[in-house]
Chains A and B, each alone.
Chain A
Amino acid sequence: LAKTTQPISMDSYEGQEVNITCSHNNIATNDYITWYQQFPSQGPRFIIQGYKTKVTNEVASLFIPADRKSSTLSLPRVSLSDTAVYYCLVGDNFNKFYFGSGTKLNVKP
């Protein structure tokens, strides 16, 4: 079962680009990489999912190198409302997600 490692916390300022990197050395061939955002007392919210190279949607980009042993979530021009915990998970969607500690992003004015 692939385990993920992320920084415990990060600080940023409004308007900056934030990159959160996750390592997953034991990722399996069938595993996808999924990122979630969680605000206090709410369920996690899906941000983005990818398998390889780069994926972009209206809120974020996900960069995955060729060896897929890590991935980077990129949030462009963060605002105060992006202050949350961000979780990186790997799995093949038939299996279970085991949440790591996540990265607590603190966006300052």
Chain B
Amino acid sequence: GAVVSQHPSWVICKSGTSVKIECRSLDFQATTMFWYRQFPKQSLMLMATSNEGSKATYEQGVEKDKFLINHASLTLSTLTVTSAHPEDSSFYICSASLGGIQETQYFGPGTRLLVL
């Protein structure tokens, strides 16, 4: 149980285009989903927290207009990187949690984004 999927697993796009990444909890309903970014040889950096039906909470330094997050249902959250630039190239990882006091986060496999 506790499987989280991401789609696509990798994407290459031209500078200036927008890219949407989907995160799904396959066998449970996730009260909260999180989005992280990881650059090579670095740790994961939390970008934002999203709860179903409400606006996402962004970490300091993360532009909400550039990284659009939609948490439309208890099993789906999307991250859209708008007007992507080469510096947005990174490994994007989502996680999902039931949100209860004893429920931890389960991570997706990640999406590799390369902006040319």
Interface residues of A (CB under 8 A from B): 30, 32, 34, 36, 41-46, 49, 87, 92-94, 96-102
Interface residues of B (CB under 8 A from A): 2, 4, 6, 34, 36, 43-46, 49, 91, 93, 95, 97, 99-110, 112
Besides the known contacts A43-B109, A43-B110, A102-B43, 10 further A-B residue pairs in the complex with CB atoms under 8 A apart: A32-B101, A34-B104, A41-B91, A46-B2, A46-B106, A87-B43, A98-B46, A99-B44, A99-B46, A100-B43
Residue contact B34 to A96, C-beta cutoff 8 Å:
yes
Residue contact A32 to B109, C-beta cutoff 8 Å:
no
Selected contact of B107 from candidates A43, A49, A101, CB within 8 Å: A43
Least Cβ–Cβ distance between A9 and chain B, in angstroms: 12
Least Cβ–Cβ distance between B67 and chain A, in angstroms: 16
Residue contact A44 to B107, C-beta cutoff 8 Å:
yes
Residue contact B104 to A93, C-beta cutoff 8 Å:
yes
Contacts of B101 in A (CB 8 A): 30, 32, 92-94
Residue contact A94 to B99, C-beta cutoff 8 Å:
yes
The main secondary structure of chain A at its interface with chain B is loop
Residue contact B108 to A43, C-beta cutoff 8 Å:
yes
Given known contacts A32-B102, A41-B91, A44-B44, is B49 in contact with A96 (CB within 8 Å)?
yes
Q: Please, could you name 16 A-B residue pairs with CB atoms under 8 Å apart, sorted by A? A: A32-B102, A32-B104, A34-B105, A41-B91, A43-B6, A43-B93, A43-B95, A43-B107, A44-B95, A46-B104, A87-B43, A96-B49, A97-B46, A99-B36, A99-B45, A101-B43
Given known contacts A32-B102, A46-B104, is B34 in contact with A97 (CB within 8 Å)?
yes
Contacts of A102 in B (CB 8 A): 43
